[in-house]
Amino acid sequence: MSSNILEVKNVYAGYLRDLNILKGINFRIAPGELVAVIGPNGAGKSTLAKTIFGLLTPNQGKISFKGENIAGLKSNQIVSRGMCYVPQISNVFSTLSVEENLEMGAFIRQGSITSLKDSIYAMFPRLAQRSRQRAGTLSGGERQMLAMGRALMLDPELLILDEPSAALSPILVKGVFEQIVAIKETGKAIILVEQNAKKALMMADRGYVLENGCDRFEGKGIDLLNNPKVGELYLGAAYNK
């Protein structure tokens, strides 16, 4: 039996059946691992995340989660198996309070959620301070923290974060990344799809660099960060400075 919690093998997928954005991609993540997915715009990063989570159906290939082929399953079926996904936008209920958002995150759990909610507040103290505040009035960084907290209310084994630092100021980005590290320290596996490639690779156990829907490079985060080819092609002009 594989030691990986998730394996993606030779997957082709896209938004139209005859137009694949992912072209034979391979990907894996072990329990407790943080794996970064980087690459230029249009490389297929978010498409990979959505395909893994069942928002898109693969046209070809296999996706195994905890040994079960989940390709073709709906998102609600995948959630019940222990995976959660935090999208880049529209990731909180803006008219509900922070606490109500967290409670909505536990919609399929049975029994009391008090201890779990308390653990989320301990991880995200700012949310505890704003528990009665409407989510729509939070800052961008606070909304990202709430979105991650709400996903954690289901106590998933694998968390997919799709561009969590997008459109945030540098100070807020720092806070969000600190919270991602805190989540990893709880033992959860994390797929981090991220535009801030350098920061993502510095945090990651391993990383994948996508190009035109293919996994162009794969390796330890620090090795990819120090790979001249990756730096020249994907990490920008400041790479060698």
Reported in sequence order, the residue ranges of 131-198 that DSSP labels E, i.e. its strands, are: 158-162, 189-193
Structural domain count of the chain = 1
| Strand, helix or coil for residue 158 | strand
Residue 3 lies in a domain: no
- Higher pLDDT among residues 89 and 94, named by residue: 94
Q: How far apart are the first and last CA of the chain?
A: 45
Give the pTM: 0.91
DSSP-assigned letter for residue 2: -
The enclosing domain of 38 has a CATH number of 3.40.50.300
36 domain residue, yes or no = yes
Assess if residue 66 is contained within a domain: no
Whether 176 and 144 have beta carbons less than 8 Å apart is answered as yes
Q: Report angle CA 157, 223, 30 to the nearest 5 degrees.
A: 20
Going by the DSSP 8-state scheme, the letter that residue 10 receives in this structure is: E
Q: Is residue 156 part of a domain?
A: yes
Residue 7 lies in a domain: no
Strands 206-211, 214-220: pairing kind:
antiparallel
The rounded percent of the chain whose pLDDT value lies above 90 is 68
pLDDT number for residue 90: 78
27 located within any domain = no
Distance CA 98, CA 89 (A): 17
> What tokens appear for 169 in the block?
């100021």
User: pLDDT grade, residue 88 (50/70/90)?
Assistant: confident
Query: Backbone dihedral region of 155: left (phi > 0), alpha (psi from -120 to 50 degrees) or beta?
Result: left
| Average pLDDT of every residue of the chain | 90
Domain membership of residue 233 as a residue range: 32-56+72-240
Checking DSSP bridges between strand 6-13 and strand 60-65, what pairing results, if any? antiparallel
- Please state, in angstroms and rounded to a whole number, the distance separating the CA atoms of residues 48 and 43: 10
Is 102 within 8 Å of 143 (Cβ atoms)?
A: no
Residue 198 has pLDDT above 80, yes or no: yes
The CA distance from 100 to 27, in Å, is: 35
Q: Please give the average per-residue pLDDT across 37-54, as a whole number.
A: 94
Diameter of the chain by CA atoms? 54
| pLDDT single digits (tens) 145-175 | 899 999 999 889 999 999 998 878 888 888 8
Inform me whether the pLDDT recorded for 176 exceeds 50.
yes
Residue 45 lies in a domain: yes
* Residue 86: band (very low, low, confident or very high) from pLDDT cuts 50, 70, 90: very high
The 10s digit of each residue's pLDDT in 11-43 is 999 998 889 999 999 999 999 999 999 998 889
139: amino acid identity, one letter: S
The whole-number pLDDT of residue 1 equals 54
Query: What is the band of 240 on the pLDDT scale with cuts at 50, 70, 90?
Result: very low
In a domain, 233, yes or no: yes
Strands 68-69 and 6-13: unpaired
